[in-house]
C-alpha cells in the first residue's frame, strides 16, 4: 500500500524505543498509565463491544480496552507503521487485531464498531487529512456509537506555556496548526454530536467525546470532502 504524502516515517524508525519514549514524554502530561485510564474511563466501554483505535502505535491502549470489554468483544488497532504493528502483535490478546491501513480508508463496513478512539494522532496530520479521518471513523461507527479523542490543548495563561511552546517546535507544523483550532468544532464538522470536553494537566491535554447520532450518508460526506480546504 502506498503511504500518503503527509506520513512521517520516523514512526517506523523509532518503533524499537517507542514505548519507553512515550512513558518519558507522558510523564510531563500526567503519566502514561494515567492517560490510558482516563481515556478508557471516557469511552463508556461495555462487555462484548467492537472497538476501533486509530493510530494505535504499539497497541498499549488496545490491550487495556480488550481487558475492559472481555473475551466476547473485539478490538481493532489501525496504524500506518509496520514496525509499530510488529511491536503491537507481541502484546496481542486473542480478541485484538492489528491492521496496517490508512485511517482515511479504514477497511471495515459502515457501522461496524460501537466505540472508536484516537490518542495523540490527529495533531500529526494536516487539517484536511484529520477531517477525513474523523469522518471515516464516523462512517465505521454504528448510529449511537461513541468516539473519544485525546490530544494536545493550548495551555492559555498557565505555567506550562513556555515548555509547551518548545515542545510544539519539536512536534512540528501540523501540531501547531492543530492547537490553533477547536477540536470540538472539528468533530461537529465531521458529523459528531459532542457530548463532553475536558482539559487536564494545566490545560495541555484535552479529551473530547462525541456521539454518532445519525446514519452515515456517504454521498453527503463525499460532497463535504470535495468542498473542504486547509486553512
pLDDT at 209 (0 to 100): 98
Is 181 part of a structural domain of the chain? Answer: yes
pLDDT at 216 (0 to 100): 54
* Mean pLDDT in order along the chain per 10 residues (231 residues): 58 52 57 82 98 94 95 96 89 89 97 98 95 98 98 83 84 93 98 95 91 68 46 42
Give the CA distances from residue 93 to residues 20, 63, 90, 190, 220, in Å, rounded to whole numbers and listed in that order: 21, 7, 9, 32, 37
Is 171 part of a structural domain of the chain? Answer: yes
Is 2 part of a structural domain of the chain? Answer: no
The verdict on pTM exceeding 0.75 is yes
Is 107 part of a structural domain of the chain? Answer: yes
Is 1 part of a structural domain of the chain? Answer: no
Q: Return the CATH number at 67.
A: 3.40.50.150
pLDDT at 5 (0 to 100): 58
Is 5 part of a structural domain of the chain? Answer: no
Q: Which domain holds residue 155?
A: 10-225
Query: Total structural domains in the chain?
Result: 1
Amino acid at each position: 500500500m502506498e503511504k500518503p504524502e503527509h506520513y512521517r516515517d520516523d514512526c517506523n524508525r523509532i518503533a524499537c524505543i517507542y514505548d519507553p519514549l512515550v512513558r518519558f514524554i507522558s510523564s510531563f502530561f500526567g503519566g502514561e498509565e494515567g492517560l490510558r485510564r482516563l481515556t478508557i474511563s471516557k469511552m463508556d466501554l461495555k462487555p462484548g463491544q467492537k472497538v476501533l483505535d486509530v493510530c494505535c502505535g504499539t497497541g498499549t491502549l488496545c490491550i487495556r480496552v480488550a481487558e475492559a470489554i472481555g473475551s466476547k468483544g473485539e478490538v481493532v488497532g489501525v496504524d500506518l507503521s509496520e514496525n509499530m504493528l510488529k511491536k503491537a502483535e507481541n502484546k496481542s490478546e486473542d480478541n485484538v487485531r492489528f491492521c496496517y491501513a490508512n485511517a482515511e480508508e479504514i477497511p471495515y463496513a459502515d457501522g461496524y464498531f460501537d466505540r472508536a478512539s484516537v490518542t495523540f494522532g490527529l495533531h500529526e496530520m494536516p487539517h484536511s487529512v484529520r477531517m477525513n479521518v474523523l469522518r471515516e471513523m464516523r462512517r465505521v461507527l454504528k448510529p449511537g456509537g461513541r468516539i473519544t479523542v485525546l490530544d494536545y490543548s493550548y495551555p492559555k495563561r498557565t505555567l506550562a506555556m513556555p515548555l509547551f511552546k518548545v515542545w510544539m517546535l519539536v512536534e512540528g507544523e501540523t501540531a501547531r496548526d492543530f492547537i490553533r483550532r477547536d477540536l470540538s468544532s472539528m468533530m461537529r464538522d465531521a458529523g459528531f454530536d459532542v457530548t463532553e470536553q475536558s482539559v487536564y494537566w494545566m490545560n495541555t491535554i484535552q479529551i473530547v467525546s462525541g456521539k454518532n447520532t445519525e446514519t452515515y450518508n456517504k454521498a453527503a460526506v463525499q460532497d463535504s470532502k470535495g468542498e473542504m480546504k486547509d486553512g
